[in-house]
Structure 1
Amino acid sequence: MTSRKYGVVDTTFSRVDMGKIAISVIRKEDPDAEIVRYTVPGIKDLPVGAKKLLDQGCDGVITLGWVGKTMLDKYSYLATSIGLIMVQILTSKHVIDVTVHEDESEDEEKLVEIAKDRASKHALNLVKLVKEGGSALTKYAGKGLRQGYTHAGELED
């Protein structure tokens, strides 16, 4: 059996330790895998962190960021998202972008719930993609699944 290697890139700006949550899920779902964690200051540093871990042999990476409420924060996230897409294109490997936007809720407890749920569900998605490939999620296609909130549900059978 080939050992898998996962990368977890998180930020010091995040207000919840989503890296710890993602690592816990990955360990549970793929106990023999190697996990490498790389922490950067903020979201604009996530693409290079992801690229470094992929260059070091990770089979896939999850990035975990927190976006503030200002328009400048939103522009920074847009730049980050484009950077993460570029990393995926350059490496042909999955980079699962997990981001909590601080304006998703005024309630800090709700933000914690969103962060935990989103980090957990996306870590599970990463494990499935790394272990089984692109067909691993096909059975969930069109189901209205959401990360961070209750599933929206499908509109047709």
Structure 2
Amino acid sequence: MKRIAVIDTTFARVDMASAAVRTLRSAGTGFSILRRTVPGLKDLPVACRQAMIEDGADLVIALGMPGRADYDRTCAHEASLGLQLAAVLEGRPIIECFVFEGEADGPGSLETLARRRAEEHALNAYALLFRPGDLRRRAGSGQRQGFADAG
């Protein structure tokens, strides 16, 4: 049985992990879910790597919501680099799902975007583990998570 870790932050303004977990459960079977929460974006890389090393996660979905300030963009960049390093070191995928507060016009649209992006990344995670042919068929089709597709 595969193990998928879903790790989010308390800094985020939307509970994206619940949307991701709900979507994974409706996508299929053959896996268990490990859910963890850390304070902020820069805590995600260590938590993701620990989920792989200590808990045997085959794939991790890292969910975060950087704020609007320039500093927040810098933190998101550093966290992203850490997530990439953790994935390479462990040889297992980490699906990064960040929603920047400035991507939406208001609280309602931010919540909709965050939930939608988390759901779509969860479906991608499921496909990566169980249905890689689905991803192959969509290659080059302009898929976007959270917004309308470009292709």
TM-score by length of 1: 0.91
* Contact 2:104–2:113 (Cα < 8 Å) also in 1: no
Match status 1:118 vs 2:125: no
Which residue of the other structure, out of 30, 34, 47, is the alignment partner of 1:36? 34
Between 35-44 and 103-112, report the one with greater CA deviation.
103-112
1:54-93 alignment, distance < 5 Å: 54-55=52-53, 56-93=55-92
- Residue 52 of structure 1 corresponds to 50
Percent identity (aligned)? 37
Q: CA deviation at 1:25?
A: 1.0
4+ residue stretches of structure 1 with deviation over 3 A?
Answer: none
Letter in 2 for 1:34: S
Q: 1:18-68: per-residue Cα shift (whole Å, max 9, x none)?
A: 111111111111334210001000110011111011112111000100000
Which residue of the other structure, out of 135, 138, 141, is the alignment partner of 2:136? 138
TM-score by length of 2: 0.95
* Contact 1:27–1:33 (Cα < 8 Å) also in 2: no
Q: Pairwise CA RMSD of aligned residues?
A: 1.1
Aligned length: 150
> Within 2, Cα distance between the matches of 1:21 and 1:31?
17
- Structure 2: gaps of 5 or more residues: none
> Within 2, Cα distance between the matches of 1:20 and 1:144?
26
Tell me, what secondary structure is at the counterpart of 2:148?
coil
> Within 1, Cα distance between the matches of 2:36 and 2:91?
20
